[in-house]
Amino acid sequence: MTESPQTISFRDVRVLAAGRLLLEVPQLDLSEQRISVIGPNGGGKSTLLQLVNGLVEPTEGYVTTDGLDTVEHGRQVRQRAGFVFSNPAAQLVMPTPLEDVELSLRRSIGHADQRRRIAQDCLVGLGIADLAARSSQELSSGQQQLVALATVLVFKPQILLLDEPTTLLDLANAARFTSMVSRLEDAHGICTITATHDLELAAGAERTLLVEDGRIAADGEPEQIITAYRSRSTA
């Protein structure tokens, strides 16, 4: 894919909370299909991701996703850019996975039967149809995270924002989650922006951003950025 229609633009963005500068991005345009964001905790990775779908609003400046301002058109932007967080348990609220996926559709689809069908298809597509009627509470973190992915994919987003999606998973479940995501990238052309501490995962992207101390400290080829980050962190 050479020219992706999904473009995310940051212009003169500053995010302040209680007088403290969380993130400053003077100019940034993202159009690659796979982008990874690395950097220390509290550096602003999460804020950067949340700006893209309007969960965090810029105190100054603006962010557009697909040409839509994330503040003015928050709802539409969030339909296009799905978000998966690191804590799997906190993302699910209903007793069973199927009901949780249906809940995502409540606003967009009026018919309960149709909601159920689409939700079921979505779980089948992710290979977790067997979990549909289980108690969400009793699922493993890995299973919960796949369900969380389903609750977001059911909107058919073009962009997936993944905020340390595998940090709380064990090795096998993390691998299952990442392979599922790369299948979505290949099969449906979904663009992903992944914030992660897993540098191997970060290296699989086309472009890597290093976010540190509330600014983008480096931006470019994954290999180059990761090497620079590694040497700086261990120095």
Partner 1 sequence: MRVRRRPRRLRAREQVLGRRAPGSGLLHRSPAGLKVAALAVFTAVILVVREPVVSAGGVVLVLLTALAVQVPLRMLLALLRRLWLLLLVLIVLQMLLNDPLTAVEVLSRILAALLAAQLLILTTEPVELVGVLRVLLTPLKIFGVRPGRAALAALIMLRSIPFLADQFHQAGQQAAARGLERSLRARTVPLLLGAVERARDTGRALSARGIDQV
Partner 2 sequence: MMQPQSADTVISAAESKHPQRRTRGGNSAQDIALIGVFAALIAVLAFAPPIPVGSFGVPITLQTMGVALTGLALGPWRGLAAAGLYVVLGLLGLPIFAGFAGGFGVLAGPSAGYLLAFPITALVTGFIARVVVRRAAPRWWVPLLFVAAIGGSILVTHPAGILGMSLNLQVSLQEAFFMDIVFWPGDVVKSLTAAAAAALVHRAAPWILVR
Q: Which residues bind partner 1 (CB under 8 A)?
A: 50, 53, 55, 75, 78-79, 82-83, 85, 87, 89-95, 103-104, 106-107, 136-137, 148, 151-152, 155
Nearest to 88 by CA among 47, 128, 60: 128
Partner from partner 1, partner 2, none binding residue 103, C-beta < 5-8 Å depending on class: partner 1
Nearest to 141 by CA among 153, 149, 152, 130: 149
User: 131 phi and psi, to 5 degrees?
Assistant: -90, -10
Nearest to 125 by CA among 70, 183, 172: 183
Can you tell me which of 12, 29, 121, 186 binds partner 2, judged by CB under 8 A?
A: 12
- Using the minimum distance from each CB to partner 1, give the nearer residue, 53 or 64: 53
User: 205 phi and psi, to 5 degrees?
Assistant: -85, 175
- Report which DSSP code applies to 109: -
Question: What does each C-alpha distance from 206 to 68, 172, 203 come to in angstroms?
Answer: 24, 24, 8
- Using the minimum distance from each CB to partner 2, give the nearer residue, 71 or 133: 71
Site for partner 2 in 36-65 (CB under 8 A): 57-62
Partner from partner 2, partner 1, none binding residue 204, C-beta < 5-8 Å depending on class: none
Strand 8-17, strand 20-30: pairing: antiparallel
Site for partner 2 in 82-121 (CB under 8 A): none
Partner from partner 2, partner 1, none binding residue 151, C-beta < 5-8 Å depending on class: partner 1
- Using the minimum distance from each CB to partner 1, give the nearer residue, 15 or 148: 148
- Using the minimum distance from each CB to partner 2, give the nearer residue, 78 or 115: 78
Query: Is the torsion defined by CA of 172, 175, 177, 179 positive or negative?
Result: negative
Can you tell me which of 4, 7, 14, 79 binds partner 2, judged by CB under 8 A?
A: 14
Residue 155 near partner 2 by CB under 8 A = no
Which segment (11-19, 37-45, 127-135, 188-196) binds partner 2 by CB under 8 A?
Answer: 11-19
Question: What token pair was written down for 78?
Answer: 């969030």
Partner from partner 2, partner 1, none binding residue 152, C-beta < 5-8 Å depending on class: partner 1
Separation of alpha carbons 39 and 233, rounded Å: 9
- Using the minimum distance from each CB to partner 1, give the nearer residue, 10 or 83: 83
Question: What does each C-alpha distance from 87 to 82, 144, 145 come to in angstroms?
Answer: 15, 9, 8
- Using the minimum distance from each CB to partner 1, give the nearer residue, 195 or 210: 195
